């Protein structure tokens, strides 16, 4: 971690547990921008490198199960693309994205109740890049981003990289709590803070696996509208539901106050890096300019591959296939948790990729991770999903990538670790104080392959 | 253009000719970050939309002639990729890029004298995104970027979007002038400015078409080294030489003080959006973190397509083919300029895509552009390539995309426009003052498809 800043904001970041290793070796140490202090290497990155060994069951990453995608569908899209629009696929495109793809994106969003103009869609390099561009457009150093607690880790990395002040709003099993949002706005405004937007994954949230209820969607939109706060609705998982469709998107209700982010990473494949933003008119113009500055244009090759896939494949049926696969895996995980780890509590997702589990309160999930990896199972510690050091006794368990058998085996191994920890604590708790954790912990940056 | 800032820096940007249209209609006007004022829509964008009609000969854009790429090479790469690494191509990858591709990138850079470790290469979404990431890492508002005058337009858009203070250093037919660089550093330091890096396209520069001599490369590296200033060497065109190879890359001499940017956009195809940065060790670590925050990982699909292409195609011969095509087009342009516009002066590029021409001093190339488009020829006005309003009587002429016949016809049309302007000025010059141009003009943002 390097920094040359001397502002209080900056110093606070540096004190927040971020590593200072290596700064003396960097001859360019004095040249970095202040914001670069917000970019930190993950404290668990080295462990995740170990965890990618094949003998480890990884419940840590967010990799979709792309092997379920028939390769002949991809090959067919490629052949038609090269035959019909080959030179266009190899060339620069527009900063807004391929018009035919944007038309398809309207069809996809209509499945969640969204009506929009093709002019207001901006194709991006994954929805991650839309997060980056929106943050670049709106965040001055010190501005507040309201974010669910817990929140998607790499969104927080982006917010930090633009020196945002991330303020969490608590959630429960029905998602963000409206009353808590009101209180946070009042408190932060009283402290003179500029609140720019509310960042939320309302449907099958990452990492909590919960879904914001319809009534709360309306209430939260009203709170944000009346307070002049934008809603950044990030919806990568909405179409990956298991039991019944989730409530319609927040953007289906409110056109002017919501920037909606979508992606092909979960319904098709992340390797193309194609996502999009649907934004109010004036903001969309600025997004296009920011997109052009950042990448000139999103990949024509990727965009036209997806366009041809959507033109000809039964993509809705393919999404159904993904639903079935991930439903089986969720069921395997919930079953294994009930069998092996009944002393934990966890969320029951109706879609998406993740279960959020709560350990007995004296366990520290980050400290426990090396022991888990030694037992050949990996997860993501809860602190990764908070900007304020919370989440110490939470873990995120991903069921998207391993098969049901591996998920069961992973949870079995995890139970060994957790039960061992509990035994250890019981043995020592009457003679030795529990290990204490610094209250403020820096955000850990993402393990690879989390979206 | 929207802004809510009230700082002098900000107000200066707003006064610098940037349009204020539409701000009253944007309900989110007050929420934008200060830096967003630096993102402006091109004043000539509407014209370029007209200029993309097929009857217009466009000498404006920077689109490579991708039709010269045999489609069977692309198809072969696709088939091998899907057969051998299909699931990997569809999946997330690392934030640094595919290792096998980075190995190939070392081979490519070796052609220009660069020796490096594969660990220090970071794959990006075109080299444009490397420009964005480097700027994000280094530029605080008000920091100075030294840039050639004239300089690549969309690099300046990036610098402006991070509120850099762009200071031009003059060039001549041998590239950047070392003595002028020394003077600029002395002057800016005396004014208390923080200079972060020198941005240069030393080989076949965009837009000037000139190449920095070997002696000057050494001298400029020494000036930057002794002043603690990074060199950002942007080299998209180095392998596209016509007569003899250019001097080796600046990075071949200096490892610690140069961030080198490369791309596949000119030697293969821009539609993949794959470029790279080669950076000193400590900076490279931060680049990877910034890349992960921005896009999680560059497209695996694009990277593995290119890897397979490089594995099996005779890519050096393909670059030779491109050289021959662009050489013919340069010759057509130089010949037509000599025939139709002998009253102009222009640079004679030994590679790359561009000729930089100087009109008689009383002509205004931006004011003339609508008349040129009416005559069915388009170019880029010189002011696009300066942050300080210079370039009024310059134009950039691209010879990369149109065939030689169209280039000749385009220059012929241009001569009609220019001669008409000269006649008009001669007629009125004794009775009417010449139209005056505001000295400070905002940077115009890029026309589409310029790299």
Nearest to A87 among B66, B92, B293 (CB): B66
Domain check: are A151 and A197 in the same one? yes
pTM metric for this prediction: 0.91
Residue B176, in any domain of the structure = yes
Domain check: are A142 and A160 in the same one? yes
Domain check: are B301 and B332 in the same one? no
Separation of alpha carbons B60 and B376, rounded Å: 12
Q: Check CB contact of A450 with chain B, cutoff 8 Å.
A: yes
* Pick among A145, A156, A232, A292 to test the B interface (most B CBs inside 10 A): A292
Domain limits for position B329: 43-67+317-425
**What is the rounded average pLDDT of the residues B53-68?**
93
**What is the rounded average pLDDT of the residues B54-73?**
94
Separation of alpha carbons A423 and B255, rounded Å: 54
3-state DSSP assignment of residue B8: helix
**What is the rounded average pLDDT of the residues B201-223?**
98
Q: What is the CATH number of the domain that holds A186?
A: 3.40.640.10
Partners of A122 in the beta sheet?
Answer: A277
pLDDT digits (tens, 9 = 90+) for A120-131: 999 999 999 999
**What is the rounded average pLDDT of the residues B175-191?**
98
Lowest mean pLDDT, pick from A224-228, B22-26, B296-300: B22-26
**What is the rounded average pLDDT of the residues A90-99?**
96
Q: With 70 as the cut, is the pLDDT of residue A19 above it?
A: no
Q: What is the structure's pLDDT at B58?
A: 94
Total of domains in chain A: 2
The C-alpha of A415 sits at a distance from chain B's nearest C-alpha, in angstroms, of 29
Lowest mean pLDDT, pick from A365-369, A396-400, B3-7: B3-7
Nearest-10 Cα torsion for A103, A109, A114, A117: -20
Residue A131, in any domain of the structure = yes
Mean pLDDT of chain B: 90
Q: What is the structure's pLDDT at B25?
A: 76
Domain check: are A53 and A202 in the same one? no
Contacting residues of B for A290, CB less than 8 Å apart: 39, 161
- Range list of H helices, A313-374: 315-340, 365-374
pLDDT digits (tens, 9 = 90+) for A302-345: 999 999 999 999 999 999 999 999 999 999 999 999 999 999 99
Residue B444, in any domain of the structure = no
% residues pLDDT > 90 (chain B): 82
Mean pLDDT of chain A: 90
Q: What is the CATH number of the domain that holds A394?
A: 3.90.1150.10
Q: With 70 as the cut, is the pLDDT of residue B13 above it?
A: no
Q: Do B294 and A299 touch (CB under 8 A)?
A: no
Q: Check CB contact of B78 with chain A, cutoff 8 Å.
A: yes
pLDDT digits (tens, 9 = 90+) for B265-314: 999 999 999 999 999 999 999 999 999 999 999 999 999 999 999 999 99
Closest CA to B307 of B78, B128, B152: B78
Residue A449, in any domain of the structure = no
Q: With 80 as the cut, is the pLDDT of residue B399 above it?
A: yes
pLDDT digits (tens, 9 = 90+) for B323-349: 999 999 999 999 999 999 999 999 999
Residue B8, in any domain of the structure = no
Domain check: are B247 and B200 in the same one? yes
Q: In this structure, what are the phi and psi dihedrals at residue B201, rounded to the nearest 5 degrees?
A: -110, 85
Domain check: are B342 and B245 in the same one? no
Q: With 80 as the cut, is the pLDDT of residue B436 above it?
A: no
The C-alpha of A353 sits at a distance from chain B's nearest C-alpha, in angstroms, of 15
Residue B272, in any domain of the structure = yes
B304, two tokens: 């593995």
Q: What is the structure's pLDDT at A432?
A: 43
Domain check: are B348 and B395 in the same one? yes
Domain check: are A263 and A403 in the same one? no
% residues pLDDT > 70 (chain A): 88
Q: What is the structure's pLDDT at A48?
A: 73
Q: Check CB contact of A286 with chain B, cutoff 8 Å.
A: yes
pLDDT digits (tens, 9 = 90+) for A256-265: 999 999 999 9
Residue B75, in any domain of the structure = no
Q: Do A294 and B294 touch (CB under 8 A)?
A: yes
Domain check: are A121 and A53 in the same one? no
Q: With 70 as the cut, is the pLDDT of residue A31 above it?
A: yes
Residue B276, in any domain of the structure = yes
pLDDT-based confidence at A406, cuts 50/70/90? Answer: very high
Q: With 70 as the cut, is the pLDDT of residue A352 above it?
A: yes
pLDDT-based confidence at B50, cuts 50/70/90? Answer: confident
* Pick among A255, A256, A265, A296 to test the B interface (most B CBs inside 10 A): A296
Domain check: are A108 and A196 in the same one? yes
**What is the rounded average pLDDT of the residues A209-222?**
98
* Pick among B299, B384, B444, B449 to test the A interface (most A CBs inside 10 A): B299
The C-alpha of A243 sits at a distance from chain B's nearest C-alpha, in angstroms, of 26
Domain check: are A213 and A332 in the same one? no
Separation of alpha carbons B344 and B278, rounded Å: 39
pLDDT digits (tens, 9 = 90+) for B221-234: 999 999 999 999 99
Nearest to A27 among B126, B197, B256 (CB): B256
Q: Check CB contact of B97 with chain A, cutoff 8 Å.
A: no
Separation of alpha carbons B260 and B279, rounded Å: 6
Nearest to B137 among A32, A125, A446 (CB): A32
């Amino acid at each position: 971690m390097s920094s040359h800043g001397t502002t209080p904001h900056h110093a606070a970041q540096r004190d927040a547990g971020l590593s200072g290793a290596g700064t003396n070796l960097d001859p360019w140490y004095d040249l970095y921008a202040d914001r670069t202090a917000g970019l930190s290497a993950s404290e668990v990155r080295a462990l995740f490198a170990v965890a990618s060994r094949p003998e480890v069951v990884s419940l840590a990453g967010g990799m979709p199960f792309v092997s379920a995608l028939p390769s002949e569908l991809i090959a067919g899209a490629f052949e038609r693309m090269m035959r019909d629009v080959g030179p266009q696929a190899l060339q620069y495109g527009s900063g807004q994205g391929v018009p035919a793809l944007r038309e398809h994106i309207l069809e996809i969003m209509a499945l969640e109740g969204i009506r929009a103009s093709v002019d207001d869609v901006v194709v991006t390099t994954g929805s991650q890049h839309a997060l980056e561009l929106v943050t670049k457009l709106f965040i001055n150093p010190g501005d507040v981003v309201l974010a669910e607690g817990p929140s998607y880790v790499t969104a927080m990395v982006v917010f930090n990289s633009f020196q945002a002040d991330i303020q969490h709003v608590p959630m429960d099993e029905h998602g963000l709590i409206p009353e808590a949002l009101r209180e946070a706005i009042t408190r932060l405004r009283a402290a003179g803070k500029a609140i720019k937007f509310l960042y939320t994954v309302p449907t099958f949230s990452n990492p909590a696996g919960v879904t914001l209820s319809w009534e709360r969607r309306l209430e939260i939109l009203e709170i944000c509208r009346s307070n002049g706060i934008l809603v950044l609705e990030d919806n990568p998982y909405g179409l990956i539901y298991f039991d019944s469709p989730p409530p319609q998107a927040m953007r289906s209700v409110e056109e002017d106050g919501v920037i909606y982010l979508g992606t092909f990473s979960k319904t098709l494949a992340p390797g193309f890096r194609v996502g999009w933003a649907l934004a109010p008119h004036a903001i969309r113009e600025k997004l296009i300019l920011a997109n052009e500055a950042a990448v000139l244009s999103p990949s024509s090759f990727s965009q036209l591959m997806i366009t041809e896939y959507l033109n000809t494949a039964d993509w809705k049926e393919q999404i159904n296939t993904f639903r079935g696969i991930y439903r089986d895996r969720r069921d395997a995980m919930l079953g294994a948790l009930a069998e092996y780890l009944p002393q934990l509590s966890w969320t029951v997702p109706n879609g998406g990729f993740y279960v959020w589990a709560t350990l007995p309160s004296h366990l520290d999930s980050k400290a426990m991770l090396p022991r888990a990896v030694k037992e050949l199972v990996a997860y993501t510690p809860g602190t990764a999903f908070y900007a304020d050091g919370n989440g110490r006794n939470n873990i995120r368990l991903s069921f998207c990538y391993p098969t049901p058998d591996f998920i069961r085996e992973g949870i079995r191994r995890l139970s060994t670790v957790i039960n061992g920890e509990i035994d250890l604590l019981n043995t020592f708790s009457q003679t030795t104080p529990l290990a204490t954790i610094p209250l403020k912990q820096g955000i850990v940056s993402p393990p690879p392959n989390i979206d």
